[in-house]
Chain A
Amino acid sequence: MRFEVGSALSIGAILFTVIIVAAMLIWVERRLLGLWQERLGPNRVGPFGLLQVVADMIKIFTKEDWVPPFADKFSFILAPPIIMVVILLSFSVIPFAPGVGVIDSDIGVLFVLAMASLGAYSVMLGGLSSNNKYALLGSLRAAAQMVSYEVFMGISLLGVVALAGSFNLREIVLAQSDGWFIIPQFVGFVIFLIAGIAESHRLPFDIPEAEQEIVAGYHTEYSGMKFGMFFVGEYLGVVLVSSLLVVLFFGGWLGPGFFPPIVWFVLKTAFFIALFILLRAAIPRPRYDQLMNYGWLFLLPLSLLNLVLTGAYILWQEGI
């Protein structure tokens, strides 16, 4: 069995690594938040508290998995797996390194966008089926936020797609071999970062699950492993957006030597995961209407302008 794109070994390794990394992020996030808030974070279980993840997993697996009698059982059970499946499917088009990946698709970027838009159903169905006012409010907010920020996410990507001339993520990485796209596409990068945070509803854009306002938002009624799926899904989303940022703007596995390509990819992704956690530690949550106004009145025109200027630049380069 060889280690190449689409081999069973590659798929298995990617699936295993991604899920383990997402679970480990529970610990990483708490330690990093502690570091930035001058605390220690979990350090009791095992060396440096590393086994905290195992303890959390045992806890969450053995908890009572309760379906409220007033909930709509069909959608209530359907909702949590959607987010896991959708995000894990998105990982299939990510090029981790030459020869490491699940599929080499010509529509990679579109596939990621499609999966991101399907991810909204998990949140909406979860909130709607819970039959709880906080859950309903949370999922209403989630629906509006995710549908809006998908738009800017897609448009901010198009600059990169235009520069690389392909929807294939592997070709986008290869197109960056003489310069990462962060330089010509800085505006696109900023918009994609903001939209990515909003899509994975992480802080500061965790408006759908704002604890201080609406209990836990859409997953108020969830418990046990169903809650665990939402929880791990959120971290999977963080890993996905970080690796997308690396692939689209920071040259994927490309690096100045020293290490094998996969190590460069992992290092860059780890940097962005840490940035996500730093954002959570530092920045307060905006109000709901501020978020929507900011998106539609500032980010949308900016991303359109970015796309137009990129197009003009490409035409000027080709000398038309």
Chain B
Amino acid sequence: MIFLFYTAAIVALIATIAVIISTNVVHALVYLIISLLSVAVIFFALGAPFAAMLEAIVYAGAIMVLFLFVMMMLNLGQTTQDEEKEWMQPRLWIGPVTLVALLLVQMTNVLLTQDVDLRPIEVGVLEISVLLFGPWLLAVELASMLLLAGLVAAYHLAKK
């Protein structure tokens, strides 16, 4: 499991970097999907198979499909690739990188100084369901209301 975790983590890192530096939008999306799938594998390795599958179904399976769907409609060609290449200058990404580096320093600090228990705990489907429909029932119902409202609104807009 620990081997699986590290492999998936390295794949996720490489894929995410590839998302940022690749100029072709479709390639970037493919790398993003790989990154999401490796995150799903990490969830699995940490003992949360349900979350892993939801990551694969919802993020990699549904949301990314919609991203790709929009990409198809946009008709992106060589000009966009050239534009992307132009935006890859150091003075543009130096700001975000500093901010992210700050966050990284913070996190390593927390992980090193405080004693956090990182051993995997098996969380099955049943445990999650009991939690969701027990103490968190109100939140689930509110979220479902919101989604239903979104669905009805989308239907209304599409009907126009």
Contacts and interface: CB of A to CB of B under 8 A. Distances in A.
Report if A and B touch in the complex (beta carbons < 8 A).
yes
Q: How large is the interface on A (under 10, 10 to 19, 20 to 34, 35 or more residues)?
A: 20 to 34
Interface in A109-127: 110-111, 113-114, 116-118, 120-121, 124-125, 127
Interface stretch (A42-50, A139-147, A227-235): A139-147
A117 B66 CA distance: 12
**A-side binding surface: helix, strand, loop or mixed?**
helix
B152 interface: no
Nearest to A166: B125
Which of B50, B57, B68, B73 has the most chain A CB within a 10 Å cutoff?
A: B57
A93 to B, nearest CB: 11
Contacts of B124: 106
B56 A140 contact: no
Contact of A74 (B27, B56, B62, B65): B27
Interface string A189-213: 0000000000000000000000000
Interface string B58-72: 001110111011011
B56 A125 contact: no
A292 to B, nearest CB: 10
B69 A121 contact: no
A318 to B, nearest CB: 15
A124 B65 contact: yes
A147 B62 CA distance: 7
A72 B24 contact: yes
A92 to B, nearest CB: 14
B53 A143 contact: no
Nearest to B73: A140
A78 interface: yes
A75 B26 contact: yes
A307 interface: no
A143 B68 contact: yes
A117 B53 contact: no
Interface of A: 72, 74-75, 78, 105-107, 110-111, 113-114, 116-118, 120-121, 124-125, 127-129, 136, 139-140, 143-144, 146-147, 150, 154, 167, 296
